[in-house]
Amino acid sequence: MKRRTLLAAGGGAVVALGAGWMLTRPDPATGLLPGAANAQTTDGSAPEIIEMIKGNPDAPVELIEYASYTCPHCASFHANQFKLIEQNYIDTEKVKFVYREVYFDRPGLWASMIARATNDTNFFFAFSDILYQRQREWLASGDPAQIIQELRTLAKTAGLDDATLDAVLSDAAKAEALYTWYQDNAQRDGINSTPSFIIDGRGYSNMAYDEFAEVLDGKLG
């Protein structure tokens, strides 16, 4: 995983400034609002980042995935191995699945902010599925303003309105909190590529389904 600074291009993008974040004055096409540089929670504290969990939280085995919404290998994993893992281990309450985002670039961060708009795990995982299924479409242009428009269109199809999206995409405090959370997680768990996995505390690279099944069955005893 190559860690990259998230820099603005053409205005209206999240910018890394030392230890902090701001949002530049937006190009109207981006959908990001003025004044977002001062965004913060009401009491001045950092926004809470909710752990996104699928399956039984008390399952005997924990599987953590580190992934980026802009990573084609992650999209392939979710289209293939994950479906079988979900069917055979998560839905059967054998495995607790935790999804943690990795931010290679601004589009990945924007997608994450939208997926987390409601702090609802059902919406999060449903929208994540859409992001992976249509990854090539919303990333196709390579243009930041167009990518945000594509993400907004997907989000509205999923049930979010413009007011919610305006608030989400101009929330500098949430952007900073998410990026800090990502960095802390990646450093602690030694994440250097995506997708990467932590199964009951041990790190694994991407594998074929049969290899995942062998590891999970071994953990389950």
Q: What are the C-alpha distances in Å from 39 to residues 24, 27, 34?
A: 12, 18, 10
Say which range, 23-27, 173-177, 217-221, has the weakest mean pLDDT.
Answer: 23-27
- What pLDDT score does 104 carry? 87
Which 3-state string (H, E, C) describes 160-214?
A: CCHHHHHHHHCCHHHHHHHHHHHHHHHHHHCCCCCCEEEECCEEEECCCHHHHHH
Tell which residue, 210, 205, 198, has the closest CA to residue 95: 198
Q: What band does 26 get if pLDDT is binned at 50, 70 and 90?
A: very low
pLDDT value at 4 more than 70 = no
Return the residue matching tokens 């959370």.
Answer: 181
- What pLDDT score does 12 carry? 37
- What pLDDT score does 47 carry? 87
Amino acid identity, position 52: M
What mean pLDDT comes out for the span 164-171?
92
Cβ-proximal residues to 203 (8 Å cutoff; 6+ apart), any chain = 189, 190, 191, 196, 197
- What pLDDT score does 159 carry? 96
Return the residue matching tokens 């609802």.
Answer: 120
Chain segment 197-208, per-residue pLDDT in tens: 999 999 999 999
What is the pTM assigned to this prediction? 0.82
How much of the chain is in helix, strand and coil states, percent to nearest 5?
45, 15, 40
- What pLDDT score does 15 carry? 35
Quote the CA–CA distance of 149 and 31 in Å, as a whole number.
8
Contact indicator for 38, 47 with CB cutoff of 8 Å: no
pLDDT value at 98 more than 70 = yes
Q: List, in sequence order, every residue forming a beta bridge with 177; answer none if it has no partner.
A: none
pLDDT value at 51 more than 90 = yes
- What pLDDT score does 46 carry? 77
Measured from the Cβ of residue 28, the count of other Cβ atoms closer than 10 Å reads 9
Average pLDDT value over all residues in the chain? 84
